[in-house]
Structure formats: structure tokens, C-alpha cells
Amino acid sequence: MLKTTALFFVTALAEIIGCFLPYLWLRKGGSPWLLLPAMISLSLFVWLLTLHPAASGRIYAAYGGVYVATALVWLRVVDGVKLSVLDWAGAGIALFGMLVIVMGWHGEA
């Protein structure tokens, strides 16, 4: 379970970075060269999703919970926005949902 969760967090970072770099280019006047590492990061994101041993729908559903929590940490660390108690509560609920879904993988054929 810990390995799966860690893999989801790395996957989420790859997706967020892959989307953040074009945002820097389009909205913040960054270099178009940011698109190259964005492409690499998004390719890594897709590859990382294939490493999970479950049906794709379960992977995407469980990944969503980790993505929510990772995006909020990104909001705090990168964007410098202070998170509220409700932000933290939402992240906890999303992560709990991910754990429930992943626990169901053991019964999958």
C-alpha cells in the first residue's frame, strides 16, 4: 500500500509539472522551451500510470485522491498560498477515498 501511494504521488508530481510549465509559458511570459520538459513530464506521467497492477478505471479513481492532496501541497509550496483547515480536511478525505479504492484491488481478478 505504501509503495502504491508513493508511486501515485510521483505520478501526480509528473502531471502537475507537465501542466505547470505550459502555464508558465502561456500566462507568465515564460520561454516556449518550457514545452519540451513539459512534454517529457507528461510522458513520464502516462508511463507511471501503467505501472499499477489494477484496471485502468480503478487506477484513475484512486489516483484522483492523491492528485487532490498533491495539488494542494503544490498550492502551498509553489504558489505560496496558505491552506485552510477545509483544504487539509478535503485532502484527508480524498486520500482516505484513495486508500479504500486501493484496498479493493486485492480482490480483483
What tens-digit pLDDT sequence spans the chain (109 residues)?
Answer: 788 888 999 999 999 999 999 999 999 999 999 999 999 999 999 999 889 878 888 888 889 999 999 999 999 999 999 999 999 999 999 999 998 988 887 665 4
> Among 52, 51, 53, 40, which residue's Cα sits nearest to residue 14?
40
Q: How many CB atoms lie within 10 A of CB 76?
A: 14
Task: Classify residue 57 by burial, with Cβ atoms within 10 Å: 0-12, 13-18, 19+.
Answer: exposed
Structure-block grid coordinates of residue 28: 507568465
Number of domains in the chain: 1
Stated pTM of the model: 0.85
Domain range for 7? 2-107
